[in-house]
Amino acid sequence: MTVVYTDGSCLGNPGPGGWAWAVDGGPSGSGGEAHTTNQRMEVTAVVKALESLSGPVHVISDSTYVVNCFNHRWWEGWKRRGWRNSQGKPVANRELWEELLELALDPSRRVTFDWVKGHSGDRMNDVVDMLATEAAARQGR
């Protein structure tokens, strides 16, 4: 199983944003958008990682938004309620979530998620944080 770390960054929220993913000792990717939100970049990082990696993947993210969606199966409630959250409001970033769900719930491969505390000294979390922040800074130029 491939272990991938993902992160999103935003300089202002909304503002210039960046996303990144990296496999320890392996491939990585990063990019950004000129005007976005931190949550969009967190989800985009996982989408880009899953698009780039094949086979079973274990995603490690400091985003409770991403990790809880899968580990607490929030997506089931969203779909059941017609893409409304528990407060009855439209799910933010629906199009990105639909893309991520298609990749993460693909029956031909296993995708699992774990949370890591951000800025806690986890080396690979620090790596993707740096890559995402650099990508966001490039958007602001």
42 included as an active-site residue = yes
Q: Which residues of 105-127 are buried (b: 16+ CB within 10 A; e: fewer)?
A: eeeeeebebeeeeeeeebebbeb
The residue annotated as part of the active site, out of 8, 17, 29, 31, is: 8
55 included as an active-site residue = no
106 included as an active-site residue = no
The residue annotated as part of the active site, out of 18, 29, 33, 42, is: 42
DSSP sequence for 60-86 = EES-HHHHHHHHTTHHHHHHHTTSB-T
Q: How far apart are CA 11 and CA 29, in angstroms?
A: 19
The residue annotated as part of the active site, out of 31, 32, 33, 129, is: 129
62 included as an active-site residue = yes
32 included as an active-site residue = no
The residue annotated as part of the active site, out of 18, 29, 33, 62, is: 62
The residue annotated as part of the active site, out of 25, 82, 119, 121, is: 119
122 included as an active-site residue = no
Enzyme catalytic residues: 7-8, 42, 62, 119, 129
